[in-house]
Structure 1
């Protein structure tokens, strides 16, 4: 109590000569940054300054503690005072626990005459936080905001997507504006303040909902498709939310559902155009057509004679071979009994004789390219 009365008497006697002026009395700092507190002071000329230091949250009637001797601050604070009575405090790697009132303390050559600059500098510590919708639908707009719990001084905000700076988007103060959102805008967004790029916000994941796109059909096995093998078609697409229904079409006819469509024993009649349609809650899209061309050896082989009906000795006769094959039949070989007699799709007998009528011309071999 005696000390308090003495201090009050000193204030009354020398109040016009004592002053502690801080350059800023409110500071908002980013967590992890370095903060400087500066100011100037004066004191009565008859007194000599013996010691200066910084303290936090001074309590009336209680001798303040030198911050540099506080175990919580000894490694993170540095004091500076010059002959022109300028003073400063450097506080490194500020944390939320550092939200205090920092005051400059002066001790003089007279034991009971001391001075504390009250009110001091109020420090608030903030982290950057990205505020944005959790998900947005393709075609809409979206605004992402870089928020703080206190007001930084003239900050210039920088935005990152998936760790890389964004330079092609509209940035207005602390807001990132996404106009006509597409699936390409999905990703992890964070923000920082210019000069403290290493102190980025926690990343925010932006999800974009969109209907199916990039719908395609693949076939297994790839390469030539030979009649009799098993074939599987697979539908692939990109969608968010994921695809719910896949529908398969052969030309315009629906033939099945599911991500895959199997043809266990493929036949020539299975040749044609196949597409799949992918559907989710936002829409549907069909793939481009996949053409299946089934290869098979000659079948349905038959021989036709012209003219038909009775064959008169001395007339001209043409035999024609007909068959179905894929790829088309390249070589036809004609046999009389077991003896080859010619090649080509047709075989002509220009002046038929009676012995020829008693023979049977038949096609017994094909070669396919």
Structure 2
């Protein structure tokens, strides 16, 4: 008797495919600031951190200033290689330092890292603006006694909390504010003003402050001796300090309404008793005018 044996059907082959799924939260670069304003010739530190899946291994890290699939490595760029220093690591810190910054360094910068399985660039990056300093005022000329404000300006708002330094000519002024306020300007305040930021070598170009004022009280000097003999020549000279300089000197004899002469020096030739009297001068510039005391001119022996 033949017995038939029924065989069990073969078990299906089951292939398990493990797929690792990452979320956007597993990747990222965080910068401490999105905008940095720095002084020319200063040092800038960009602090940042980065993250990636734990099963990845970092193979390369660098900084770049171009957002592209294959951006350049600034550490290999001759314009940066002598000045750039990576402060981070191949784990989570991606801080970088750039020294002696220049106007041409004004760019957007990105941190780039590569793992054994992927590449990542940290957007939106950090914008660096490099600025110099300028002294600005309402005008280069100010009347004595008026107020004037001088401001130390930069093309962007400095990121660091700044203490300012002010100079007039070679003198360091006792003021640390961004704005230098002169409430009542004197002629001694005139000069070249410059500003700087404490801790930095950069100084602004000089800005000239011109303080204008009317003539001081004029003084008359007489060229002849104290004794005037009839027929002598007499020269009277009028002197006064002012800014701008005196542009008009006028001479008057007391008790006369019209002037008797003009110019800084008033000359009388062949002096005689009919010319005797008290003389004064008036000095004038564009700001104002001032009169001198009168001096007496008499011929020897003349009673007045």
Q: Scaled by the length of structure 1, what TM-score is found? A: 0.65
Match of residue 209, structure 1, among 192, 199, 212: 212
How big is each residue's C-alpha offset from its partner over 1:217-274, in whole Å with a ceiling of 9 and x where there is no partner? 34447x7667466553332222234323211245565431111122345668877765
1:175 to 175, 179, 183: 179
Please tell me whether the aligned partners of residues 249 and 275 of structure 1 are also in contact (alpha carbons under 8 angstroms).
yes
SS state at 1:212 partner: coil
Distance across 1 between alignment mates of 2:238 and 2:194: 35
The alpha-carbon distance between structure 1 residues 239 and 12, as it changes in their structure 2 partners (threshold 3 A), is farther
- Would you say the 8 A contact 1:129–1:202 is kept in 2? yes
Going from structure 1 to structure 2, the CA distance change for 1:125 and 1:226 (only over 3 Å counts) comes to same
Aligned to 2:7: none
Q: CA deviation at 1:66?
A: 0.8
Q: What displacement does 1:89 show?
A: 2.0
CA apart distance, 1:56: 0.4
Quote the Cα distance in structure 2 between the aligned partners of 1:179 and 1:50.
Answer: 62
Counterpart for residue 73 of structure 2: 66
Q: CA deviation at 1:287?
A: 2.9
Which residue of 280, 284, 290 maps to 1:279? 284
Where 2:240 maps in the other structure, the secondary structure is strand
Per the alignment, in what secondary structure is the counterpart of residue 71 of structure 2? coil
Instruction: Tell me, yes or no, if the aligned pair for 1:234 and 1:260 is still in contact at 8 Å.
Output: yes
Does the 8 A contact of 2:66 with 2:72 survive in 1? no
Structure ranking higher on relative contact order (CA contacts 8 Å, 6+ apart): 2
CA-to-partner distance for each residue in 1:190-215, whole Å, 9 max, x for gaps?
2222222x312222212233211253
Q: Deviations over 1:324-352 (max 9, x none)?
A: 59xxxxxxxxxxxxxxxxxxxxxxxxxxx
Indicate if the aligned counterparts of 2:249 and 2:283 stay in contact, CA closer than 8 A.
Answer: yes
| Superposition deviation, residue 293 in structure 1 | 8.3
For structure 2, the 5+ residue unaligned runs are 1-19
- Provide the rounded CA distance (Å) in 1 between the counterparts of 2:78 and 2:232: 80
Residues 29 and 35 of structure 1 are in contact (CA less than 8 Å); yes or no, is this contact kept in structure 2? yes
Q: Partners in 2 of 1:31 and 1:225 — Cα distance?
A: 70
Q: Secondary structure at the match of 2:213?
A: strand
1:144 to 150, 153, 173: 150
Q: Are the structure 2 counterparts of residues 289 and 78 from structure 1 closer, same or farther at C-alpha, using a change threshold of 3 Å?
A: farther
Inter-partner Cα distance in structure 1 for 2:93 and 2:266: 82
What does 1:110-121 correspond to in 2, within 5 Å? 110=116, 113-121=118-126
Relative to 1, partners in 2 of residues 1:89 and 1:224: Cα closer, same or farther, differing over 3 Å? Answer: farther
Match of 2:102 among 95, 101, 114: 95
1:29 aligns with 2:38: yes
Aligned to 1:364: none
* Partner residue, 1:188: 192
Alignment pair present for 1:79 and 2:82? no
Compared CA separation, residues 195 and 225, structure 1 to 2 (3 A): farther
1:240 aligns with 2:243: yes
Residues 83-121 of structure 1 deviation map (CA, whole Å, 9 limit, x = unaligned): 66323322222222211111111122x2x5122221211
In structure 1, the residue matched to 2:162 is: 155
Output the CA distance in 1 between the equivalents of 2:286 and 2:179.
30
CA contact (8 A) 1:133 1:206 kept: no
Question: Could you tell me how far 1:63 is from its partner in structure 2?
Answer: 0.6
Question: Considering only CA atoms, is the larger Rg found in Structure 1 or Structure 2?
Answer: 1
**Quick check: which one's strand share is greater?**
1
CA RMSD across the alignment: 3.1
